[in-house]
Amino acid sequence: MRILLVIPALLSLYFLTLTNLAVTLFALDEPQWWKVYWIHSSLLEMKGLLDKPLYRILQKDPVLIDVLKEALQDTLRECSRKSVIHHWKCNVDGIPRKTLFSNVASFASKEFAYFLALSSAAAVRAIAHACARGRLRSCSCDPAKIGPVHADQRDTWIRCGVDRGSDNLRYAIKLSKRLIDRQFVCYYSDRVAQIYLHNIAVGRSRVTLKIKCHCVSAFGSCRRRYCEAKVVPFEMIGDAIMESLLRSRRIRRSNALPTSRVTCLRPRNERSMRRKYPLCAFKI
């Protein structure tokens, strides 16, 4: 009789375990680099919070942690600015040291697609600007911006100096791929990874440079000008990503279980994505 009573209990526990496993398998992950939001003090704190590849990158240049935190703060402010119109919740309400947002279901929403693209753009912009200001060890202002800007030689690029020079967008894009894309390049669920990488690439492609020049000639003749290339204001980047969001595509999520084989995706050609590619989000 006792055996008959125990068997239903074991069966219920078994099905409960399977249900929780399915939820875990289908849960979408936040980007690993978002966890820098919770770092406040030491590298020791960072080691227990981030995975090894990301920890090693940040360990080489700890100032990069502050740069990425500034990028997340810019993202939250811009998202709050847009929330006045779209009625979004852009406040951090997740579990400290684990997630920024508490609602896992929102990961499949257009709001999350926008925030993912916006945060990626903010990271690229912050790194490019930090390089030009001499804050990071591994980079400086753009070394390609040397000599005359145009053929007429009227405009000349400003040489690298303390808090002067062109933003190093090329290096920022390269570093952001190591920081952000690495987590999703080799993934168990191909479709989820493709959506994440697509939205990350769309956000990154919206970061552009604008040339600013000022006269250095005497008596205001302005025969010669010194120029530098700076990333556009973040509000303009947010507006460009919002245009992509308004044309976003809903993609149906497959009910098939993820395969046990790891698939590595090919890198994207992001130059073509500057032509106002739309974002993608899952159908809920």
DSSP character string of 11-52: HHHHHHHHHHHHHHHHPPPPPGGGGGGG--S-HHHHHTTS-H
pLDDT value, residue 162: 72
Highest-scoring range by mean pLDDT, 32-46, 125-139, 152-166, 190-204 = 125-139
**This prediction's pTM:** 0.79
The answer, yes or no, to whether residue 279 has pLDDT greater than 70, is no
CB 169 within 8 A of CB 163: no
pLDDT value, residue 159: 85
Question: Over the stretch 203-220, which tens digit does the pLDDT of each residue have?
Answer: 999 999 999 988 876 666
Question: Over the stretch 105-129, which tens digit does the pLDDT of each residue have?
Answer: 555 678 888 999 999 999 999 999 9
151: confidence class by pLDDT, cuts 50, 70, 90: confident
* Least confident segment among 59-73, 172-186, 228-242, 252-266: 252-266
DSSP run (H or E) holding 66: helix 63-86
pLDDT value, residue 3: 43
Average pLDDT over residues 59-82: 92
The answer, yes or no, to whether residue 194 has pLDDT greater than 60, is yes
Q: What is the mean pLDDT of the chain?
A: 77
The answer, yes or no, to whether residue 262 has pLDDT greater than 60, is no
CA-to-CA distance for 106 and 154, rounded, in angstroms? 52
Beta bridge partners of 249: 280
pLDDT value, residue 283: 41
The answer, yes or no, to whether residue 248 has pLDDT greater than 90, is no
